[in-house]
Amino acid sequence: MFQKTVSNLKSNWPLAGFLVIGLIAFISSPSKSEQDPLETVAAPASVDTYIPAGHVLVPIEIANAESLASLVGDMGGVVDLYLASNDTQKGGLKVGSKLKLLRAPLNPQQYAVLVKDTESPRLLSFNGPFIAVVQNPEARGNSVTPASAPRKAVRIEYQN
């Protein structure tokens, strides 16, 4: 019987080659029990797990959120914040520079900025909405502009 099977395989060598290649492919394929290492890492429950010590995450309203969404990635970027103009306030006042902007994972249209906990009251003293201007992510150091920055008076004297 064994000799009959061997003689059939010799006469049908393409079928025998196909069976050997199929057997090799089956043996070398990864097993289903192996999992991707990234799948085994549990995702953090919320964004607050990313906040470093001494910092707070301040949710803000951004006037240019739609155009900003196409510029920054899924997590956010580094921005300068300016006050947006509306009926009650003049815009263009710089509120903060080089602030880390984060997008909300559950609602991508919502943003928050990461600031030192000592600077959060100054940021909250400004009424939104804000305009975010994207900066170089390699820039270091962030700051919130004081609410009332003293300006020097300009004095012009005319002589006749």
- Look at residue 16 in the predicted model and tell me its pLDDT: 75
| Together in a domain, 114 and 55 | yes
CA–CA separation, 152 and 26 (whole Å): 80
Judgement on whether residues 86 and 131 belong to the same structural domain of the protein: yes
Q: What is the pLDDT of residue 143?
A: 63
What pLDDT does 155 receive? 78
pLDDT for the residue numbered 48? 67
- Cα 140 to Cα 56, 78, 90, 98, distances in angstroms: 17, 10, 29, 7
Per-residue model confidence (pLDDT) at position 65:
84
Domain range spanning residue 11?
A: 1-29
Do 74 and 23 lie in a common domain?
A: no
Pick out the chain residues at pLDDT < 50. Answer: none
Does residue 55 belong to any structural domain of this protein?
yes
In this structure, is residue 44 part of a structural domain?
no
pLDDT at 139: 61
Q: What is the pLDDT of residue 151?
A: 65
pLDDT of residue 38: 54
- Shared domain for 60 and 133, answered yes or no, is yes
Predicted confidence at residue 40, as pLDDT, reads 57
Question: What is the predicted pLDDT for the residue at 103?
Answer: 86
Q: What is the DSSP string of 51-116?
A: PPTTEEEEEE-BTTHHHHHTTS-SSEEEEEEEEPP-SSS----EEEEEEEEEE-SS-TT-EEEEEE
Q: Look at the chain and report how many structural domains it folds into.
A: 2
The 3-state DSSP class for residue 142 equals coil
Specify the pLDDT at position 125.
87
Within a domain: 110: yes
Q: Is residue 101 part of a domain?
A: yes
